[in-house]
Amino acid sequence: MKSEPDVFSIDDLARKGREVWDGVRNYQARNFLRAMQMGDLVLFYHSSCAVPGVVGIAQIRQAAFADPTQFDRASDYFDAASSALEPRWSAVEVEFVRKFAAPVTLEMLKNVADLADMALVRRGNRLSVMPVTEPQWQRITDLAD
DNA sequence: GCCAACGTTGGC
DNA sequence: GCCAACGTTGGC
């Protein structure tokens, strides 16, 4: 899951413990959110910052539910086309697990041949929520310690 | 701040 | 249903 650290960082999650992950407004990312289950582990990625990369691990505490911001007229994420009966957008709740001693930077990830087909390292990729395979998870977390 | 890549919108 | 225009993402 990607987040801009200026908006919400791994340190913010560490401090708060839990956070509702809302505001996803891309259908592909939404579908990946909906596929998440309670207890699933998440790689937390910092994007649009000085050193983009995976900075820690979180865990799904609550599986997908209707993203409340889509009904909030005051929210940037308000969607007038969504309805309470058939909510268009979903959110999940995540919990802090740990922060890596040092980030696994995008640059590092690009140098791992096994990760070449991962959307994350591909140029022009804009997906903010994406699945990670077991081998990819292993590769990435191995680089963290 | 620039710009490539991509998703969405809307005219036809 | 095509595709140009536009807005957004995100690395650099």
In tens, the pLDDT along A48-69 reads 999 999 999 999 999 999 999 9
pLDDT at A83: 87
CA A126 / C1′ C8 distance in Å? 9
CA distance A54 to A46: 6
pLDDT band at A30 (very low <50, low <70, confident <90, very high): very high
Nucleotides of B under 7 A from a protein CB: 4-8
Q: Is A55 exposed, middle or buried (0-12, 13-18, 19+ CB in 10 A)?
A: buried
pLDDT at A145: 75
CA A19 / C1′ C4 distance in Å? 40
Give strand pairing partners of A90.
A66
Nearest nucleotide to A53, CA against C1' atoms: C11
Contact A31, A54 (CB under 8 A): no
Query: In the 57-86 stretch of chain A, whose C-beta falls under 7 Å of nucleic acid strand C?
Result: none
pLDDT at A95: 98
Instruction: Give Dmax (Cα) for chain A.
Output: 46
Give strand pairing partners of A101.
none
CA distance A58 to A98: 7
**How many CB atoms within 10 Å of residue A80?**
8
| Sign, Cα dihedral of A68, A74, A76, A82 | positive
Angle of CA points A57, A61, A67, to nearest 5°: 105
pTM of the predicted structure, to 2 decimals:
0.94
CA A58 / C1′ B10 distance in Å? 40
Whether the beta carbon of A139 falls within 7 A of nucleic chain C: the reply is no
Joined together, the tokens standing for residue A143 give 């680089």
Does residue A13 carry a pLDDT above 90?
yes
CA A139 / C1′ B2 distance in Å? 33
**Strand B: residues with CB below 7 A:** A 26-28, 122-126
CA A71 / C1′ B11 distance in Å? 30
